[in-house]
Structure 1
Amino acid sequence: MPNKRRALGFWLVLLVACAGIIARTQFRTDMGAFLPQSAPMAQQVLTEQATSGAASHLIVLALTGAPAPILAAMSETLAGQLRQRAEFIDVINGDDQSFAGVQGFVWANRYLLSADITADRFTATGLHAALLNDLGLLGSDLGGMIQQTLPGDPTGEALTLLRQLGQAQGPASIGNVWFSSDGARALLLVHTSAPGFDIDSQQQALTLINGDFGKARRAVPGAAGVRLIESGPGVFAIHIRDTTKRDVTRLSLLAMAGAVSLLSFAYRSPRVLLLGILPIASGVLAAIATVSLTFGFVHGVTLGFGVTLIGESIDYAIYLFTQTARGETASDTIARIWPTLRLGMLTSTVGFSAMLFSSFTGFAQLGLFSIAGLIVAAGVTRFVLPHLVPQGFCAAGADSISRPLRAAIRQRRRLRWLVAAGVLASIFALTMHRGALWDNNLENLSPIPARDQAQDQMLRRDLGVPDVRYFAVFKAADKEGALEKSEDLTASLNSLVARGKLGGFDVPSMILPSLRTQRARQAALPGAALLRERFTQAQAGLPFRADAFEPFFRDVAATKTGPLLSAGSLPPPLALQLGSMLVRRDNGWVVMAPLHDVADPAGVARAIALAGLPGVRFVDLNHESDQLLQTFQREAVLLAVTGSLAVVLLLLAGLRSVARVITVVAPLAAAVIMTAALLTLGGGKVSIFMVVGFLLIVAVGSNYCLFFERSAPDAETWHRSIASIVLANLCTVSAYGLMALSSIPVLHDIGMTVAMGTFLSLVCAALLKAPGLEA
């Protein structure tokens, strides 16, 4: 009785402590946490930008299903409603308000922002040339715009700047708002305050958008048939979360229903059925708390997959309940099977321990989560469950479940050749596999459906948003150093544009010049009296009124003595754009300058390398993505191999016999080989998720093989042992098999791999078992 109280007391204290830790745990979803700690700078920053950069704030909206005038009215109404909400930084649909904030900022600060501001530009000769150019433009299609800006900006700085910042052009317009080229869709760009990884905030933003869309549709006559299309990183994140939640919930309920039905038939005791949940629940709580204490946060992927990885802990309760014979207490049973169960638990934890040394924080979290969960689940099974099992309990229905496998075991001498033939055929199939064995297509690993990806590409084409693949990347010790180096890089990039190797580029200094440059531009502006004197000379003989340029004189004087620009003075759209190019990291600042319409990638890379700017490198996003995937692949294989070797070494230490180790390992090897062959039949390829599945096969299947390897004192005990293995296997196969039905690639791949592999490991272990008691 004292032992029972101590065990239950310690267990309850552990659960309360874990619950307290979990209540203060930070859960994260940004995929930057799954990058290797030694990932190249470009890979780290690119991943951060995908989750928290400017692009992640973007939602693309399209209105369709009605004539263009109705869609234009809907666009204006919806944009007006969204602009009233603090959840949106900016709403752009091409109307006059779309760029008002940016245009006002550029106009007010044009003499600090323009790269053309030099002392020569404000000489009498320079001003005269500018006025002559204005005369020519007044007679062109831009005459109306020039007539408005000429009094305050005769040198044309504002129009040049707006053109550089992409504000002077956009998609086709109908009724003063953006449309696709075929006029079928009215287009809007919405910048949310929250980044794409903040899924709850993105969900709130979409709820507001849909609510305002409904109001706009009711307010605009004839708009009842208008449909709203939404796309963007935040939209995808919500769809992925909802799809994952739906799949996991639906498939988990089905798996639970299957397991409950199976275990109810075997146990025929509701109380014991509920007791079987305790090891899993305890393991999950302990695992979350352990990861939180070690890493300071728990990643959402770790939580989702970690629960799956320790799902084998249900097997421990099955072994205890099913192998308890009539007249035998649960305490006697656990004492008898504990050496085997303990070795099985240790093989799993040792296998997962390889993940602790991964350079990927995510992999390390998964390994620690699994190890902590399995140890606690095994401990609860060993020290807590035996005290809670009803006296005299016996799994009365388990015997009939194992009869088909027992019949196969009796014929094992004649059926072993099937295993040998399957392994040889699998090796041949893998050797003769057509093409590459690895799946290197990132789109196949993406949880975003192909239809949604195609729709997003269509809307981006409508908007004229370029797919940026190439960047110039460098680091700097501080922000000012980064801006200054950005300005130095501009000269080299302008040269590439002039030579036709580059269509254009963006650098952070276009939005926020360095303080060094701003001071130089202030110094280049003449004083008020000198400017008036030179301007009088410049307009001599030209048809301009002498008093028409008072706004110009006033603005130049204000800029020369006014404050300099800082990041805090930027309007939200420009601040967001600056943040996508200028990123602060722990050891400094990183600049990622997008390069557009790169005609000669190799030539641009060489030119940047020879530009004499230390540390600046040319980055191909596709190449970096491929490299990141290959890093994942190499490390996944290394972890699987290392984990498997660790299992073999542990088995050698525990079984102390090479022959006995071969008896355990041979079925596992056969199962992994045959699973790999089946997954790649017909030209299929192996994903990194499947490699994780191979490690799971070894971790879970080793338990089956250990129980088959163990000798039994009598036939009844042997039959119950087989029944427990079959019952555990059926629960595992059904759970992972249902997971294979998921539309999420990672769930599908792991589910299919583990379901197939664990079933094959059971069959191979049964047919390759050494002669002993007949089943």
Structure 2
Amino acid sequence: MNPEEGSPHRASALLRRGVLVVWLACVAAAIAIAARTHYVADLSAFLPSTPSAEQSVLLDQLRSGVAARLVLIGLEGGTPAARQTASKQLAKSLRGSGAFDAVHNGDTSQFEATGKFLFEHRYLLSPAVDAQRFSVEGLKAGIDETTSLLGTPAGSLIKPVILRDPTGETIRMAEGMLPAQSPRMEGGVWVSQDGKRAVLLATTHADGADLDGQEKALAQVRESFGALKAEGVSLLVTGPASFAVGSRAKIKHEVELLALAGGVAIVGILLFSFGGSLRTLLIAVLPVACGVLAGVAAVSLAFGNVHGMTLGFGTTLIGEAVDYAIYYLIQARSRPGAPPGDGARRWTLDSWPTVRLGLWTSICGFAALLFSGFPGLAQLGLFSVAGLAAAALTTRYVYTVIAPDGAPGVGMRRRLGQAVGACSAVLPRLRWPLVAVTLVAAAALAWWPSAWHANLASLNPVGPEQIKLDEELRREIGASDNGTIVAVAAADEAGVLMQAEAAGLRLDKLVASGAIGGYESPARLLPSPATQQRRREALPEPAVLAANLAQATADGPLPARRLGAFLTDVEAARAQPTLTLASLKGTPLAAALSAQVLPGDASGGGSRPWRALLRVQPVDPAGTVEVAALRAALADLPGTHVVNIADEVSSLYARYLKEALVQALLGALAVCVLLGVHLRSWRRLLRIAQPVAASVVIVLAVMTGLGVALGILHLVGLLLAVAIGSNYALFFDQIRAQEKAQAPGTPFVVDTDTLASLALANITAGISFLLLAFSSIPVLSAVGQVVAPGIVLSLLLSAAFIPRRKR
């Protein structure tokens, strides 16, 4: 061979090596990104990125609020005394562990320091403090009211401090700070209403998004309980923190199990199909691995994290990514007498345009999700687009280098091709009966009520037993997450406390009229700086107070000469600094306030304001709050919103579903436009669209008839079913086009390898998604339930609706 002849071969060899180098570099980069990726499992990713004012309250709570850090603990079994002792010991151990900001079980013995702090600042915190309070009449009324309580159960608390607090400001603070509803007390600790369970409420120090920190805190609960000698007492743990950690572990376990089961099934099928060739098997998994890596890397770079559900969805990528490998390895098989590399050249010319068109249709369908206002849905879209593109490109450019003549061995491929050929000859005769079935399914969908009514809980992988336990413990502790909240907003801490006070004045009137049972407000624990200043200014000078006190106590039960400490305390209060959240840091009050006051985002340019949350209780604990009346009473307060959590969650999911449906329709429209531009024939477009649309209609009708509540992930599954099913329709249309291109009278023999590749791709994808249908994770199960039957129907209907030409 002369140098001129060898030059093209050398250039081709260099090009092939260059392709492999670039591919390996991309794989290495994707592996590095995936290894450093932060994986999350909370549902906040499936909440809107541009929420309404009411929804933003939920968003703050789920992402960084105390609601995401709650741990609900139950102790049951054993004797009541054993449960009470275990509750006290467990609470003490958890408080000392440093893993929790607060641990509540009804035991107030650890609040001695807090009580001292409140007592020393009672004149800034008591709602009764004003100028009238320290007049002669006010002092006399206050002292009389306080002394009258000495004979009541509260007398034991008043007697030690009455000489320093004769007007009873401590009692006034306690009245304002006590919750409207509290758990039942027994033996000094909280217990359930039936008394058979001790209950505790803890707040983890780790942020809600810090799942590793949450996991350590939960481990601390179990370790601390294990160290107790509580005979017959068992531990129950639930709450958002437990859900998040449990969800991550469950998703990881299920993804690994499904990937293993699907991998074993597909490996077995591929080995059987390719005559036991291990080399072919290793080559076949490359598009799948590259697709998953590319999806993880793309989502990580775009969002900064990868949701566990997105990663779980990645297992479904096996279904379509392995199709690309099967198409190539079978269709590019070398023919007898052909030169080396003929299979790759032939596949690139004949089949790659069809595969490429199928890829573009898939990308168009999933690209619609990229514009979703819900980060979780956008993640699914980006993962699918990047993963499918990487799998297809690996097939096109890497396979043609490492397997230029497809896969050796026949295995069961020939029989598969013959079977599909026989079916493709019979199914067109059933076209009109199948059309009738499709029309009946469409009519049923139009007649039946819509099945698109799943809720946000359908995304939660937590089992019903855990959800039921969570609801029980919340009722017993009074920490329901389905109540009504008044959320007020302001630019800073002082402003938000003033707003809370203004809202509290309106709510006081509703309490007095019997419209609501009560409410909790952070302003009761920490009044605004302006209110504290007014109370400080209301404190009289020592001489004035002494004179008024002398007159008020004349002939009274407490002579003025015994109240010198009272005069000293009032004088000290006149110089006390204003209390803020920072000054309460390290006290139990700070933990309580952190649940009710959410700091603004100063680093974000003030994009998120300060918020205070006032939880409203109904008159009847088993009833509900009249939201309309509440909104009417607060209508003219700026920055104030009434949030019914259950209603907002429902409306949130309704918006989520509506947006996803619109985007799916836009994606379907984009696919039709793409096919129309490429095919330039509305008849061919109709032929390709018919089987895919019919399969979607039939699957939806069957699931609706079975009473399945359809949701977001069913919709994503439909997109994936369309993406895979359209490939089958395109290949049958390609066969028809090849037959049409031949001269009249020329015999046309369908390539059995092409038919075998379609059958084998359908079998492997069907098995992958069938396994998902049996998953205990709703996200994966929903996808599998839709895709498995959808792609099988797409193949059968494509053979029926795209018949070969009659000769």
Taking structure 1 as the reference length, the TM-score comes to 0.93
Match of 1:592 in 2: 613
Name the counterpart of 2:715: 691
Match among 355, 359, 366 for residue 380 of structure 2 = 366
Q: Pick from 621, 629, 642 the counterpart of residue 603 of structure 1.
A: 629
**1:759 correspondence with 2:792:** yes
Is 2:364 the partner of 1:331? no
**Residues 27 and 74 (structure 1), Cα distance of their counterparts in 2 relative to 1, 3 Å cut:** closer
**Gap change, CA 1:448 and 1:287, over 3 Å in 2:** closer
Distance 1:559 1:178 in 2: 35
Judging changes above 3 Å, is the alpha-carbon distance between structure 1 residues 101 and 662 closer, same or farther for their aligned structure 2 residues?
A: farther
Deviation at 1:319, TM superposition (A): 0.6
Counterpart in 1 of 2:730?
706
Residue 421 of structure 2: which of 388, 406, 411 is its match?
406
Q: 2:77 matched to 1:65?
A: yes
When residues 446 and 301 of structure 1 are mapped into structure 2, their CA distance, relative to the original with a 3 A threshold, is closer
Q: Please state how far the C-alpha of 1:4 moved relative to its aligned partner.
A: 0.9
Alpha-carbon distance in 2 for matches of 1:771, 1:167:
76
Q: Is the 8 A contact 1:310 1:370 kept in 2?
A: no
Superimposed CA distance per residue, residues 449-488 of structure 1 (whole angstroms, 9 cap, x where no aligned partner): 2222222222223224455522223432233222222222
Equivalent positions of 1:711-722 (< 5 A) are: 711=735, 718-722=751-755
Once the two structures are superposed, the pairs formed by residues 110-121 of structure 1 within 5 Å of their partners are: 110-121=122-133
Once the two structures are TM-superposed, the CA of residue 11 in structure 1 deviates from its matched residue by: 0.8
2:355 maps to: 341
Q: 1:645 aligns with which of 669, 692, 706?
A: 669
Map of 1:536 onto structure 2: 550
Match of 2:691 in 1: 667
Shift of 1:545: 5.3
Q: Which residue of structure 1 lines up, in the alignment, with residue 640 of structure 2?
A: 616
Counterpart of 1:627? 651
Q: Structure 1: how far apart are the matches of 2:306 and 2:625?
A: 44
CA distance in 2, matches of 1:60, 1:470: 20
Aligned sequence identity (%): 38
- Whether 2:781 is the aligned partner of 1:737: answer no
Q: Which amino acid aligns with 2:141?
A: A
Report the more deviating stretch, 522-531 or 497-506.
522-531
Q: In 2, Cα distance between the equivalents of 1:351 and 1:686?
A: 19
Shift of 1:539: 2.0
2: distance between equivalents of 1:685 and 1:519? 57
Distance 1:720 1:773, change over 3 A: farther
1:568 positional shift:
1.5
Deviation at 1:162, TM superposition (A): 2.9
- SS of residue in 2 equivalent to 1:111: helix
Verify the 8 A CA contact 2:71 2:203 in the aligned structure 1.
Answer: yes
> Does structure 1 residue 272 correspond to structure 2 residue 280?
yes
Tell me whether 99-108 or 418-427 shows the greater mean CA deviation. Answer: 99-108
Match of 1:320, as an amino acid? Y
Q: 2:244 aligns with which of 233, 237, 247?
A: 237
Shift of 1:721: 1.0
1:459 pairs with 2:470 = no
Distance 1:404 1:239 in 2: 46
Specify every segment of 5 or more residues in structure 2 that has no aligned partner in the other structure, as ranges: 1-12, 602-606, 619-623, 740-746
Kindly indicate whether the alpha-carbon contact (under 8 Å) linking 1:733 and 1:755 is maintained by their aligned counterparts in 2.
yes
1:158–1:283 Cα change, 3 Å: same
Q: Give the equivalent residue in structure 2 for 1:87.
A: 99
Give the aligned residue type for 2:316. Answer: T
d(CA) in 2 for partners of 1:469 and 1:155? 36
Using the alignment, how far apart are the partners of 2:39 and 2:90 within structure 1?
35
Task: Please give the alpha-carbon distance, in whole angstroms, between the structure 1 residues aligned to 2:520 and 2:476.
Answer: 21
Deviation at 1:284, TM superposition (A): 2.6
Distance in structure 2 (CA, Å) of the matches to 1:552 and 1:33: 55
8 Å CA contact 2:424–2:799 kept in 1: the answer is yes
Q: Which residue of 2 aligns with 1:748?
A: 781
Q: In the alignment, which of 479, 485, 502 is matched to residue 488 of structure 1?
A: 502
Q: Structure 1 residues 101 and 455 mapped into 2: Cα distance closer, same or farther (>3 Å)?
A: farther
Contact 2:95 2:103 in 1 (8 A): yes
Alignment partner, residue 524 of structure 2? 510
Instruction: After superposition, give the CA deviation of every residue in 1:637-678 in whole Å (9 maximum; x if it has no partner).
Output: 111111111111111122221111112111100000001001
User: Corresponding residue for 2:742?
Assistant: none
Per the TM alignment, residue 590 of structure 1 is displaced from its structure 2 partner at its CA by: 3.1
Distance 1:59 1:226, change over 3 A: same
Letter of the 1:78 partner, please give it: L
For 2:491 and 2:186, the matched residues in 1 are separated by: 47
CA contact (8 A) 1:440 1:626 kept: no
Q: Name the aligned partner's letter for residue 130 of structure 1.
A: G
Alignment CA distance shift 1:155-1:400 (3 Å): farther
| Offset from partner CA, 1:416-444 (integer Å, 9 cap, x none) | 234213202211321232x4432244445
Partner of 1:525: 539
Q: Which residue of 2 aligns with 1:319?
A: 327
Deviations 1:564-618 (A, max 9, x none): 1111122454334433333324242233322211653322221221xx3234233
Indicate the residue corresponding to 1:771 in structure 2: 804
Q: Which whole-Å CA distance do the structure 1 matches of 2:181 and 2:293 have between them?
A: 55
Which residue does the alignment assign to 2:118? 106
Match of 1:261 in 2: 268
Cα separation, partners in 2 of 1:633 and 1:395, compared to 1, 3 Å: farther
Distance in 2 (alpha carbons) for counterparts of 1:237 and 1:179: 26
Please list the CA deviations of residues 388-438 of structure 1 after superposition, one character each: whole Å capped at 9, or x if unmatched: 2286732412223344433321212322234213202211321232x4432
For 1:574, which of 589, 592, 602 is the aligned residue?
589
Partner residue in 2 for 1:305: 313
How far apart are 1:754 and its partner, in Å? 1.0
Report the residue type matching 1:430 in the other structure: L
Find the counterpart in structure 2 of residue 156 from structure 1.
Answer: 168
- Code of the residue aligned with 1:729 in structure 2: it is N
CA 183–240 in structure 1, closer or farther in 2 if over 3 Å, else same: same
Measure, in 1, the Cα distance between the counterparts of 2:609 and 2:701. 48
Answer whether contact 2:291 2:317 (CA < 8 A) is retained.
no
**Pairwise CA distance, 1:249:** 2.0
- What TM-score do you get using the length of structure 2 for normalisation? 0.90
Instruction: Determine whether 1:248 maps to 2:255.
Output: yes
| 1:107 to partner: Cα distance | 2.4
Shift of the 96–345 alpha-carbon distance from structure 1 to 2, 3 Å rule, reads: same
Any idea what SS the aligned residue of 2:751 has? helix
Gaps of at least 5 residues in structure 1 are none
Query: 2:7 maps to what in 1?
Result: none
Provide closer, same or farther for how the CA distance between residues 509 and 22 of structure 1 changes in structure 2, counting only shifts above 3 A.
Answer: same
Q: Distance in 2 between matches of 1:652 and 1:698?
A: 16
Deviation at 1:344, TM superposition (A): 0.9
Query: Are residue 500 (structure 1) and residue 514 (structure 2) matched?
Result: yes
CA 1:402–1:645 in structure 2 vs 1: closer, same or farther (change >3 Å)? same
Amino acid of the residue matched to residue 97 of structure 2? R
- Compute the displacement of 1:199 (Å): 2.2
TM-aligned CA deviation for residue 167 of structure 1: 6.6
Give the RMSD, CA atoms, in angstroms. Answer: 2.5
Is 1:4 the counterpart of 2:16? The answer is: yes
The aligned amino acid for 1:252 is A
Task: Give the deviation of 1:634 after TM superposition.
Answer: 0.9
Contact kept in structure 2, 1:500 and 1:599, CA below 8 Å = no
Residues 1:311 and 1:567: Cα distance change in structure 2 (over 3 Å) = farther
**Could you tell me which amino acid in structure 2 is paired with residue 684 of structure 1?**
V
> Within 5 Å, which residues of 2 pair with 1:386-405?
386-389=400-403, 393-397=407-411, 398-405=413-420
- SS of 1:710's partner is helix
Equivalent residue of 1:89, what SS?
strand
Change (3 A) 1:464 1:299: closer
- Residue of structure 2 in register with 1:287 after alignment: 295
Identify if the C-alpha distance between structure 1 residues 260 and 666 changes in structure 2 by more than 3 Å, giving closer, same or farther: same
Query: 1:688, CA displacement in angstroms?
Result: 2.0
